[in-house]
Amino acid sequence: MKKTFTLAVLSLASAVAFAHARLQSSTPANGASVGPAPTELRLQYNEPVEAAMSSVRITGPGDAAVATDRVVADPGDDKVLVQPLPRLAAGDYRVQWTTMGHDGHHTKGEIRFAVK
């Protein structure tokens, strides 16, 4: 009985340890070519994330930095971050994001999209 309990506790601890916020989808989608230019970027995660501990860095044509306001939480879904976007010109864009889940672990990633 003691071995079974110990194994169950270790299995649960292992599952919690690997439960970090992972990007599930984005709008625009990774690799998408969109037109007209989007007015916001939406990042959907597999678990709730902390907007205050999250950031988005966007570069556009010629690797020029795109000036943006801070990323915010979607008021209706704590698994979604919303990055308001300025008017984007045609070209390729690279989005680098970092976030922190409620478990306190930071994750980061990148998506790319194009504006026609």
pLDDT of the residue at 12: 44
CA distances 1 to 10, 13, 14, 40, Å, are 14, 18, 20, 54
Residue-level pLDDT at 102:
83
> CATH second-level architecture of 21-115?
Sandwich (2.60)
Domain boundaries, the chain: 21-115
Rounded to 5 degrees, what angle do the CA atoms 38, 47, 74 make? 40
pLDDT in tens, the chain (116 residues): 555 444 444 444 444 445 689 999 999 999 999 999 999 999 999 999 999 999 999 999 999 999 999 999 999 999 999 999 999 999 999 999 999 988 889 999 999 999 99
The pLDDT, as a whole number, for residue 20 is 87
